[in-house]
Copies of this chain bind each other. A is one copy, B any other.
């Protein structure tokens, strides 16, 4: 453990971030803590604080638009594990399965069909049949 690195952290930001993930994808929050807490406790803090605690707490953009940005970035980057987590969050934020399929179909002309197909198969795995 990196004990020389305490300065940047902030319990309020971390709690707000963990609360967001626990609300919208509790299994992912648990897995994040279990997988990373031993090897990289500061990374757990950073993930809780910055993307979840800071960014998802911001206004100025509807939550579905914000989540569309996250989902597209993860699909285009080929980050399959994180994409599954955020498809779960998208479900909790009100996306229907067909909206997600449609969102990922829109990527085909800009990032290619493989990106679309892989993301749609991830939706199929994560979502209950509608």
CB atoms of A43 and B117 under 8 A apart: yes
Q: Check if A15 is an interface residue, CB within 8 A of chain B.
A: no
Given A68-B65, A72-B69, A98-B1, A114 contacting B110 (CB threshold 8 A): yes
Contacting pair A103 B61 (CB below 8 A) = yes
Contact A40 B101 (CB under 8 A): yes
Asked whether A11 is an interface residue with its Cβ less than 8 Å from the other chain, the reply is no
* Known pairs A61-B103, A112-B73; A120 contacts B39 (CB<8 A): yes
Which residues of A come within 8 Å of B, CB atoms?
1-2, 4-5, 7-8, 10, 13, 35-36, 38-40, 42-43, 46-47, 50-51, 53-55, 57-61, 64-66, 68-70, 72-74, 76-79, 81-82, 97-99, 101-118, 120-121, 123-124, 129
With A1-B98, A55-B109, A72-B72 known, 15 other A-B pairs at CB within 8 A are: A2-B58, A5-B60, A35-B121, A39-B101, A46-B54, A46-B108, A47-B117, A65-B68, A69-B103, A69-B106, A69-B107, A73-B76, A81-B117, A110-B114, A112-B112
